[in-house]
């Protein structure tokens, strides 16, 4: 297995890399936000995440408690990742696996999260 994987927004302005094995599972959440954007998510410590290009193209969308910065490309509208924190305060990155071309989406084990009720 490769020890890292790369992803991007649709237009390519935003590029990122994660220093971890490509995940075999993804979280599919039914909350009002995830269901609209169709995310397949996997979470990583911020230290394993590198934004390699495109900070200037990124905008942030926040709602509800405003604890998560949903970062999207202002050119193409894609949200490749979100910035958040664990309850202990450590920074975490939620990666939208749909923005990682090397990952076979149909092979992912889906872990359904009932975010609509949470
Ligand atoms: Zn873009």
**Residue 19: pLDDT band with limits 50, 70, 90:** very high
Ion ligand 1 contact residues with beta carbon within 5 A:
9, 11, 13, 73, 75-76
What average pLDDT does this structure show over 90-117?
96
**What topology is assigned to 5-113 in CATH?**
2.170.150
Instruction: Please report, rounded to a whole number, the percentage of residues in the chain having pLDDT higher than 70.
Output: 100
Cα 12 to middle of ligand 1, angstroms: 5
Percent of the chain with pLDDT over 90: 94
How would DSSP label each residue in the chain? --S-EEEE-SSSS-EEEESSPPPSEEEEE-SHHHHHHT--EEEEEGGGEEEEE-GGGEEEE--TTS-SEEEEETTT----EEEEE-TTS-EEEEEEGGG-TTS-GGGSEEEEE-TTT-
| Domain positions in the chain | 5-113
């Amino acid at each position: 297995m490769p020890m890292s994987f790369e992803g991007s927004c649709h237009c390519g302005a935003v590029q990122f890399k994660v220093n971890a094995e490509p995940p075999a599972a993804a979280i599919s959440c039914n909350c009002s936000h995830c269901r609209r954007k169709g995310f397949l998510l996997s979470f990583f410590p911020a230290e394993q995440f590198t934004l390699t290009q495109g900070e200037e193209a990124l905008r942030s969308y926040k709602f509800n408690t405003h604890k998560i910065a949903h970062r999207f490309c202002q050119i193409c509208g894609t949200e490749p990742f979100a910035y958040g924190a664990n309850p202990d305060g450590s920074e975490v990155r939620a990666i939208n696996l749909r923005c990682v071309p090397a990952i076979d989406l149909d092979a992912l084990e889906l872990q359904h999260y009932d975010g609509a009720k949470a």
